[in-house]
Amino acid sequence: MTEQPPLVEFERWETPFEFSDTVIFDVQYGNGGFYLYLAEGQKLWDLAPSNEKNYDSLTIRLFCPDDQTVYRIEFDQIGAHRVLDEGGLLQLWSSDERRKIRNKSDKPPMTFRVRGHGWSEESPVSFIHSTTDGWSFVISSSITCVEVLSFNPPEIIAEQKLSPQRPS
Position 26 pLDDT exceeds 60 = yes
Which 3 state secondary structure label does DSSP give 122?
helix
pLDDT digit string, tens, across residues 77-95: 888 888 987 666 666 666 5
pTM for the complete prediction?
0.77
Residue 117, pLDDT score: 78
Tell me how far apart the alpha carbons of residues 168 and 166 are, in angstroms, rounded to a whole number.
Answer: 6
Judge whether residue 18 has pLDDT over 60. Answer: yes
Look over the chain and give the mean of its residue pLDDT values, rounded to a whole number.
Answer: 78
pLDDT on residue 119: 75
| Predicted pLDDT at 91 | 61
Residue of 142, 114, 158, 146 lying closest to 21 (CA atoms): 142
41-73: per-residue pLDDT in tens?
Answer: 666 666 655 556 656 789 999 999 999 999 999
Distance of CA 52 to the CA centre of its chain: 21
Average pLDDT of the segment spanning 28-41:
67
State the pLDDT at residue 163: 87
What does the DSSP 8-state code read for residue 85?
Answer: E
